[in-house]
């Protein structure tokens, strides 16, 4: 779908999208189109329950006096409800409602709204962004899909008076969308296509954007002492990898320098998780192709930051392994030594993500001395029991970082909820045979997993985001179609934009 911006004009063909405020008050563009059609819009409102509330839509087919396929009337609600997030949802709704238009062309008229926080140009950019996010499809393996079942929308033209401002605002948002789409692609691919080596090669594609990418193989990780990470992957025929991505953009801002301590983002990349010897039940195991979701988010975030040339130094570290059962696989009861020197008794080989992150976090902390570290992982089923599929779980040793993440999540619609850490929970992972064990008791599974990670971050401001419940969606949402969500890319990009680029 091609997205463009132009000055206001009544379209001659295709589908026209115009808006109404609360109580059915038409915007100027809607009034002009109503006059053009001999009052068709107002008649349709009177014959329906449309009141201009946010999220409402009303379709008028083949309006008289025009060659339009239809008019789509959308509700903006009250002026206070015209926010960037609501405009993104509106854009997603417009795409969903018009994706199969016969002509393939949709025109969206955007007018200034009195007392709204956004200008018309900002509204236009956010609507286009929302439409782009909703337009994602993972259909590369569908060879027999009928043309009638595919989206036919090829051109979305957004009209507003200051369309050049809208185009400029959208350009940065489009780069974030590129990162979101990259993550969704990686998470959606099957495990016979995405495995440690091929995922590392996907990360290398960021080099063309100016990201420095280094891939460490098993020999290099063995020299570094990464026994925790290597233990997870030892049952697979595929070698494990550690990928390091660096974006140095701080020199672009006043007072910034390429030597500034980076922001660090660390991702769990278990490209397929059978559970190992502690094997999972077969039902639903196919979902474990997206157990690399945390690494996918970090790679997509680095693409977004580099794409929009973020004025910040950032490093992304992802540990990539495949957790398979075999004669060489790690056994329950094995004891491994992590890069930190701390020993870990592996009581359950299906609690493997924390072992991967243990070495990745320690490596990141020691090598880069980052300003902060945020790790993302589809880490525990327990977080889904706690929070369902609406919030990601958040754990941290730093209140300010938590507050910033919460507000960034609210701003982009990727919500996080903080859960506790304490010495009492930490004692639950003490081992009689080693420095720690990789699982606690039956209760507080997400918390004990976070306590495990906390032992590898030192004094660095750190947050762990458990995205197990939000990495994949089984239903469509306004800007997130069914499938891989890329939850975390927009959240972390917003965090960086709001607090670390000024």
Helical (H) or strand (E) element with 273: strand 263-273
Residue 486's contacts (CB-CB under 8 Å, 6 or more residues apart) are 179, 180, 181, 183, 184, 187, 296, 297, 300
- Band (pLDDT 50/70/90 cuts) for residue 154 is very high
Are residues 158 and 244 located together in one domain of the fold?
A: no
Are residues 68 and 110 located together in one domain of the fold?
A: yes
Domain boundary among 108, 132, 162: 162
Catalytic choice (70, 303, 354, 404): 354
Span 331-347, average pLDDT: 98
Contact 272, 209 (CB under 8 A): no
Are residues 194 and 316 located together in one domain of the fold?
A: yes
Span 254-264, average pLDDT: 80
| pLDDT for the residue numbered 122 | 98
Contact 212, 315 (CB under 8 A): no
Catalytic choice (42, 204, 238, 280): 280
| pLDDT for the residue numbered 256 | 60
pLDDT tens digits for 370-423? 999 999 999 999 999 999 999 999 999 999 999 999 999 999 999 999 999 999
Range of the domain at 74: 2-162
Share of the chain above pLDDT 90, in %: 96
Pair of tokens at residue 267: 């991702």
| pLDDT for the residue numbered 179 | 98
pLDDT tens digits for 17-37? 999 999 999 999 999 999 999
| pLDDT for the residue numbered 251 | 80
Neighbouring C-beta atoms of residue 190, cutoff 10 Å: 11
pLDDT tens digits for 446-498? 999 999 999 999 999 999 999 999 999 999 999 999 999 999 999 999 999 99
Pair of tokens at residue 367: 């090598």
Contact 315, 262 (CB under 8 A): yes
State the CATH number of the domain containing residue 61: 3.40.220.10
Are residues 152 and 183 located together in one domain of the fold?
A: no
The Cα–Cα gap between 228 and 380 comes to 18
pLDDT tens digits for 44-76? 999 999 999 999 999 999 998 899 999 999 999
The Cα–Cα gap between 239 and 244 comes to 16
Query: Does residue 280 carry a catalytic annotation?
Result: yes
Neighbouring C-beta atoms of residue 379, cutoff 10 Å: 30
The Cα–Cα gap between 495 and 404 comes to 7
| pLDDT for the residue numbered 253 | 63
Span 240-256, average pLDDT: 86
Output the pTM of the full model: 0.97
Dump the DSSP string for 344-401: EEES-TT--HHHHHHHHHHHHHHHH--SEEEEEE---THHHHHHTTT-EEEEES-HHH
pLDDT at 258 over 80: no
In a domain, 169, yes or no: no
Are residues 83 and 151 located together in one domain of the fold?
A: yes
Are residues 352 and 443 located together in one domain of the fold?
A: yes
Domain boundary among 162, 188, 209: 162
How many domains, the chain? 2
pLDDT at 2 over 80: yes
pLDDT tens digits for 191-209? 999 999 999 999 999 999 9
Domain boundary among 114, 135, 162: 162
Residues in the chain: 502
The Cα–Cα gap between 71 and 59 comes to 6
| pLDDT for the residue numbered 502 | 77
| pLDDT for the residue numbered 255 | 62
């Amino acid at each position: 779908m091609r997205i463009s911006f132009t000055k206001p004009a009544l379209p001659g063909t295709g589908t026209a999208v115009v808006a109404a405020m609360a109580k059915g008050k038409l915007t100027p563009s809607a009034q002009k189109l109503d006059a053009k059609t001999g009052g068709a819009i107002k008649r349709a409102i009177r014959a329906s329950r449309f009141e201009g509330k946010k999220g409402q839509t009303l379709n008028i087919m083949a309006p008289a006096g025009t060659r339009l396929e239809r008019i789509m009337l959308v509700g903006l609600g009250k002026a206070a409800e015209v926010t960037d997030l609501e405009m993104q949802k509106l854009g997603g709704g417009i795409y969903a409602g018009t994706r199969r238009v016969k002509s393939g062309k949709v025109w969206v008229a955007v007018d200034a709204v009195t007392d709204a926080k956004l200008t018309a140009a900002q509204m236009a950019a956010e609507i286009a962004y929302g439409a782009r996010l909703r337009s994602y499809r993972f259909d590369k393996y569908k060879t027999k899909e009928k043309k009638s079942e595919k989206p036919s929308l090829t051109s979305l033209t957004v009209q507003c008076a200051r369309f050049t401002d809208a185009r400029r605002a959208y350009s940065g948002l489009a780069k974030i969308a590129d990162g979101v789409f990259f993550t969704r692609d990686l998470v959606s691919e099957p495990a016979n296509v995405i495995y440690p080596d091929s995922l590392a090669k996907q990360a290398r594609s960021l080099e063309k954007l100016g990201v420095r990418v280094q891939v460490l193989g098993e020999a290099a990780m063995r020299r570094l002492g990464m026994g925790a990470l290597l233990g997870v992957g030892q049952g697979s025929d595929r070698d494990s990898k550690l990928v390091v991505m660096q974006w140095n953009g701080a020199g672009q801002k006043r007072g910034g320098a390429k030597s500034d301590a980076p922001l660090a983002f660390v991702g769990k990349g278990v490209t397929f998780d059978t559970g190992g010897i502690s094997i999972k039940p077969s039902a639903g195991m196919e979902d474990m192709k997206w157990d690399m979701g945390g690494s996918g988010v970090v790679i997509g975030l680095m693409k977004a930051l580099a794409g929009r040339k973020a004025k910040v130094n950032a490093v992304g570290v992802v540990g990539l392994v495949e957790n398979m059962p075999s004669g060489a696989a790690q056994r329950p009861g094995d004891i491994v030594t992590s890069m930190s020197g701390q020993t870990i008794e592996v009581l359950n080989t299906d609690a493997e993500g924390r072992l991967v992150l243990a070495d990745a976090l320690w490596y990141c902390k020691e090598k880069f001395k980052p300003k902060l570290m945020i790790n993302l992982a589809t880490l525990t089923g327990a977080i889904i029991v706690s929070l369902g599929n609406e919030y990601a779980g958040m754990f941290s040793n730093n209140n300010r970082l938590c507050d910033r993440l919460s507000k960034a999540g609210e701003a982009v619609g990727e919500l996080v909820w903080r859960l506790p850490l304490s010495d009492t929970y930490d004692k639950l992972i003490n081992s009689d045979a080693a420095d720690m064990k990789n699982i606690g008791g039956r209760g507080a599974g997400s918390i004990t997993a976070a306590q495990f990670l906390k032992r590898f971050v030192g004094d660095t401001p750190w947050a762990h985001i458990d995205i197990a419940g939000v990495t994949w969606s089984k239903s469509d949402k306004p800007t997130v179609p069914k499938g891989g969500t890329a939850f975390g890319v927009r959240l972390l990009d917003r965090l960086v934009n709001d607090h670390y680029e000024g």
